[in-house]
Chain A
Amino acid sequence: MKVRGFLIGLLAMTVAAWPVAGAWAQDKTIFIPLFVYRTGPYAPSGIPNANGFQDYFNLVNERDGGVNGVKLVIEECETQYKTDLGVECYERLKGKKPPLVNPYSTGITYQLIPKAPVDKIVVHSMGYGMTASADGRWFPWVFNFPMTYWSQASAFVKYVASQEGGMDKLKGKKIVHIFHNSPYGKEANPTLETLAKQHGFELTLLAVDHPGQEQGATWLQVRRINPDWIYLSGWGVMNQVAVKEAASKGFKMDHMVGNWWSGSESDVVAAADGARGFKSMTFHAPGAGFKVHQDLVKHVYDKGKGATKKDLLGEVYHNRGMINAMLNVEALRTAMLKFKLKTPPASEQARWGFENLNLTEQRLEQIGMKGMMRPLKVTCENHESNGMAAVQQWDGKQWKIVSDWIEPIRDVVRPKLEAAAVEEAKKLGYTVRDCSKEK
């Protein structure tokens, strides 16, 4: 009975001791929430990514003294890649007036897209999220530059063509798309189907159900089809198993190309040597050989403020976290230069900064990222910008870029994208805006 009494007391205390969400007053710093997943099944991708974010924001604070003199303050919130936890994080942290959020999960992005114009917070889903939101006329608050899944798929087809010796050589080739059976995994399907019709290659779509630990049947089918190329849209354990299965079934690894969420160090670890030659799409270079990494070591790591170990710099997802942070910072900087701010930009101003981001080669060189990424320019209509993709390859020790920058087939992708934007916007009851009237 005593224990029960204690229990009831404990319950009462829990209720009484509930933390009260305090008011947050700050006008000297820019608050950026980080939705991370350092635990759970997707942590192997989430950890380097989050560290990349941390490191770059720290670097901006340490090296440049903040964005245009205003320091960045970041707070992590663990989502475990789960939608409901992401929503909880968003609701908790939006009171601190962030100018932007990076949802870092397609599921969470879909939750935040309707909220963005209401709460006036920019949603930047870099290379994931809703493809249709790249039409800025319908979705002014959502950005997915440097590229969308559809552009990526078209770039993959172009890459295959370049390896086979021209677009006309695609005819009769067999391409298999192995995808995670979720909205994310299915994204590339319509683009691939359209291109298959146009160029006459045989496309087979093979779905793998979440989580994708057991893919025996899928790879039996692959063996029967005996495709020329495989495109992989996997996530988490599905990638490791797919690479391993391909290697053990003796498939030519350099004819298997992952999308940019299926090609990192952790995806090849299980297959080890068998993974050599495996390729994946990317929109930035891997490796720690850039000036920004030297800066990072000098200004952050040598002061003991690094988020990870020095020798883990240059991992694919660490670099991607840095690139994402850099794009955030550059957009904010664009806004602050335009409105001559020495204080954090207001939400509308931050949005303007994203929409008018013009990342030049010069600027990339200034921040030490020359060659790490292509310059890009966002416009009012085009929120995916004019970014380009490249192909990287695992040589057994590290990822290396093995192709030129590939321009997506925009005249195929863009009309589809605009049609989809109308559909999606109609569901939310949005109206289109006239971009010629925006300054």
Chain B
Amino acid sequence: MIYREAGQFKTTYAADQAIFPIAQDRVVVALAIAAAFLVPPLAGSEYWLQAVLIPLLIYSLAAIGLNLLTGYAGQLSLGTGGFMAVGAYAAFKITTAFPQVNIIVVFLVSGLFAAGVGLLFGIPSLRIKGFYLAVATLAAQFFLVWLFNKVAWFSNYASSGTITAPPRTVFGVMVTGPEATAPARYVVALTLVVLFALAAKNLVRGRIGRSWMAIRDRDIAAEIIGVRPLRTKLLAFGISSFYCGVAGAELVFLYLGSAETLAFDITISFLILFMVIIGGLGSILGSFLGAAFIVLVPIFLTNAPHALGLSVPVALQKQVELMIFGGLILFFLIVEPHGLARLWQIAKEKLRLWPFPH
């Protein structure tokens, strides 16, 4: 009844192809973004911002990046951690060499570096596909992490070998470094993720996105209708790595504060891939939902016994938590293999008919 598109007539192609063609969607998204900007910084505790929401936003950004590559262009990649590391180390090198450059600009430029590296490691995709490609991208993962670990230049010859986010400001507000408040970091992360999510949404409805999907669905057919696989696949790798690179820079600068290469090891690549699959391949919203699932469920499971007043030994709790988490993944896949985004879609379709489903 409320969610009804009847009566919304599109008179131009542009309106028909808009990012959010339904008026209610536009309102809901605008409200959600406004709420995301206002509520947590004003009402959220530091724990919520620092330990939950900021990583959630950063992982979402990386998941969007991987979703462009895996969900839209159909190229399975396990090099995400490596590309994020490129972004992080590039941002660190740039901002220590040119402290006067705005940190947001630094993030974007380091994303470009990651994109370049992504292009390079995307080359095997021209020859191989599927799990072979996934395992091949692991070469990027292991090599890049080894490189940053081995070459001291990347960490400015720090005796500890770790990179530390120096204090930087945006419009006079401290956003990185130990003095930066959690709300300030949160707003920066949110702004970036909102902008990039809209950009991604825009990208996938246009020519580029369609050529990606054509390659994903049937590469030979795509080639015949004039999609060039070389350019299309490499572009997917480049843009995806750009997103991952920015996310990697944010991970160090906005969330962790300092990091060694271990922060970008293989587990993070898998983690982001889980997010994409659980959330829904080929869905921007799914990237957010998947990230929320992977970040929130373990925290929820950790806190649940406390909230219920149960005192469980931590080891047992963690083991049960792992079992429940694994079980939940299986459960979700069995009930809805197309991810959380699909659940949302079904909910939307029901809403359309509500309250008269027949």
Contacts and interface: CB of A to CB of B under 8 A. Distances in A.
Contacts of B160: 110, 130-132, 183, 187, 420, 424
Given A114-B257, A427-B166, A78 B343 contact: no
Contacts of B126: none
Given A3-B335, A118-B178, A77 B166 contact: no
Interface string B247-283: 0000000011111111101000000000000000000
B55 A114 contact: no
A46 to B, nearest CB: 9
B158 interface: yes
Contacts of A18: 300
In which size bucket is the chain A interface? Answer: 35 or more
Interface stretch (A88-96, A220-228, A252-260, A355-363): A88-96
Contact of A114 (B178, B299, B302): B178
B347 interface: yes
Interface stretch (B24-32, B199-207, B314-322): B314-322
Interface in B171-221: 177-179
A21 B47 contact: yes
A180 to B, nearest CB: 10
B315 A78 contact: yes
B159 A423 contact: yes
Contact of B159 (A17, A88, A190): A190
B318 A38 contact: yes
B315 to A, nearest CB: 4
Contacts of B161: 182-183, 186
A21 B45 contact: yes
Nearest to B305: A19
A39 B302 CA distance: 14
A107 B160 CA distance: 11
Contacts of B322: 39
A36 interface: yes
Contacts of B11: none
8 contacts: A4-B336, A43-B315, A78-B302, A91-B51, A182-B260, A424-B159, A427-B166, A428-B177
Interface of A: 3-4, 7-8, 11, 14, 17-21, 36, 38-39, 43, 47, 76-78, 80, 83-84, 87-88, 91-92, 95, 107, 110-111, 113-115, 117-118, 130-132, 181-183, 186-187, 190, 209-210, 420, 423-424, 427-429
Interface of B: 45-48, 50-52, 55, 146, 149, 158-162, 164, 166-167, 177-179, 255-263, 265, 297, 299-300, 302-304, 306-307, 313-315, 317-319, 322, 332, 335-336, 343, 346-347
Given A420-B159, A427-B164, 17 more contacts: A8-B347, A17-B307, A19-B306, A21-B45, A39-B322, A84-B55, A87-B256, A88-B299, A107-B262, A110-B259, A110-B260, A113-B258, A118-B178, A181-B149, A183-B161, A427-B158, A429-B177
